[in-house]
Amino acid sequence: MSEVDRRKDEFLAILSHELRNPLQPLQTAVEVLEHDPDAPVPARIRGIIQRQVHHITRLVDDLLDIARLNAGKLELRREPIALESMVEEAVQACAPGAQKRGHQLQVTAGKVPAVVNGDPIRLVQVVCNFLNNAIKYTDPNGRIGVEWGAQDGEGFIRVSDNGKGIPNDLLPTIFDMFVQERTEPSGAGGLGLGLGLVKRLIEMHGGTVRAFSGGPRKGSTFEMRVALASPDTRVQTPLEVPRIERPLRAVVCDDAADLRELVADLLRLRGHEVTVVEDGPSAVDVVCREKPDVALIDIGLPEMDGYEVARQIRERLKDNQPRLIAMTGYGQASDRAHAFEAGFDAHIVKPASADKILRALYGSPEEP
């Protein structure tokens, strides 16, 4: 058996393990709640459910990203982005995990602003990967440092920790696919895709990644470098437009009964009036008849897909056009473009947080 085949077999075994791990606490949490269905849901159980759903989402996202990379379908949406804002966003996303383990998180800023041309979502994803690894592989009450700056025409971001370190024999292959990031006797989790994905994403930006460690128990440092943008490049700062949230009349269309009812419940909790339908023709009829303010529509519907639903609504309604939001598992750039061409105003990829769904009602997530 070749080394590649051996690694793939190991990866499949790890994948099975990693997908089953979060399912167990989810199943147990449901059974605990069923024991006394009328009792308030404890915050501890809510936290367990949220953490495990987030974990599964990250696993699935990594798998999809690797599939897109291998098929040459992962597209970068480049724009000028400041390293400072990238670090700020990544630290904000990862800080709760660091706090739970008692880590000190220190950011060291560069002496001058540094701007690169890159895909903000993907570059923040890289920094978050470095940070999450540092959090996971550092014993409680550890120290994690993030440094950004400019050097020799490149912008760099380094994440260092005083954690478990990396064996010298693992350093040359640490960024290979299907390689666990570090040795971990108790099993810290992960598919061995994270750093391989990081390397591919940075190489797509024309940059480099490196890892340093003095060995086991001596901590580690991970670094990404990307060419600086020209000195006259300016980062566009989006204008914050005050949003007045008023009760809306909404239609939710999804063939998955649990999802459409839960989304409807979420909207009703915020005071919105909601009608639910389960297929494309019904969505067109209800939207054109009731003329709601907003409609959240799945793409993969039976009989008539969401794209055709949007097209027919736009054709039939000349006035009082509703805001159309695509809620879908299709998340590539071409899927977004297809949705906007069909007439959607926003594009949300499942699973989406409640906050993202609610913000989309008034005009935000993933607009053209």
Q: What is the pLDDT at residue 75?
A: 82
pLDDT for the residue numbered 342: 95
DSSP β-ladder status, 323-328 and 273-277: unpaired
Give residue 250's pLDDT band: very low, low, confident or very high (50, 70, 90): very high
Segment 136-160 mean pLDDT:
96
Question: Are the beta carbons of 293 and 275 closer than 8 angstroms?
Answer: no
| Pairwise pLDDT comparison (277 vs 46), residue with the higher score | 277
Give the lowest-confidence range in 33-47, 95-109, 257-271, 328-342: 33-47
Q: Which of 293, 322, 292 is nearest to 310 (CA)?
A: 322
Domain 3-71 and domain 79-227, same fold? Reply is: no
Q: pLDDT: is 120 or 225 the higher one?
A: 225
Q: In this structure, which topology does domain 79-227 adopt according to CATH? A: Heat Shock Protein 90 (3.30.565)
Q: Answer yes or no: is pLDDT of 105 > 80.
A: yes
Tokens of 351: 């699973």
pLDDT value of position 31: 81
Mean pLDDT of the chain: 86
Domain coordinates in residue numbering, the chain: 3-71, 79-227, 249-360
In angstroms and rounded to an integer, the radius of gyration of the C-alpha atoms of the chain is 23
Does residue 5 carry a pLDDT above 60?
A: yes
Closest CA to 368 of 69, 56, 7, 342: 342
Mean pLDDT computed over 41-52 = 80
Q: Quick one: pLDDT at residue 11?
A: 65
Q: Which residue type does 236 have?
A: Q
pLDDT at 203 over 90: yes
- Alpha carbons 74 and 64: distance in angstroms, whole number: 10
Going by the DSSP 8-state scheme, the letter that residue 105 receives in this structure is: E
pLDDT at 24 over 70: yes
Q: Which two tokens stand for residue 319?
A: 């006035």
Written as six digits, the tokens of 180 are: 């666990």
Of the pLDDT bands very low, low, confident and very high (cuts 50, 70, 90), residue 366 is low
Contact 292, 253 (CB under 8 A): no
- In this predicted structure, what is the pLDDT of residue 76? 87
Percent of the chain with pLDDT strictly greater than 90: 50
> Tell me, what's the pLDDT at 241?
44
Rounded Cα distance between 366 and 347, Å, is 5
CATH fold of 3-71 reads Helix Hairpins (1.10.287)
* Cβ proximity of 249 and 273 under 8 Å: yes
Nearest one of 172, 168, 350, 189 to 366, comparing CA atoms: 350
Between residues 147 and 66, which one has the greater pLDDT?
147
Position 4 pLDDT exceeds 90: no
- Crossing angle of helices 3-35/43-71, nearest 10°? 150
pLDDT at 58: 77
Spatial distance between the Cα atoms of 270 and 263, rounded to a whole number of angstroms: 11
From the list 259, 255, 244, 248, the residue with the least C-alpha distance to 306 is: 255
Identify the pLDDT of residue 243. 53
Please report the pLDDT score of residue 287 as a whole number.
Answer: 96
* Contact predicate 338/312, CB 8 Å: no
pLDDT digits (tens, 9 = 90+) for 300-337: 998 899 999 999 999 999 888 999 999 988 877 788 88
User: Which of 137, 151, 229, 253 shows the shortest CA–CA distance to 190?
Assistant: 137
31-35, 156-160, 310-314: lowest mean pLDDT where?
31-35
Just give the CATH number of 249-360. 3.40.50.2300
- pLDDT > 70 in the chain, percent: 86
pLDDT-derived band at 44 (thresholds 50, 70, 90) equals confident
Place of tokens 């003329």: 291
Under a CB-based contact definition with an 8 Å cutoff, are residues 288 and 311 in contact? no
Distance from the first to the final alpha carbon of the chain: 48
Per-residue pLDDT, averaged over 185-211, amounts to 79
In whole angstroms, give the CA distance from residue 68 to residue 184. 29
Nearest-angstrom CA–CA distance, 306 and 284? 10
Lowest mean pLDDT among 64-78, 91-105, 120-134, 265-279: 64-78
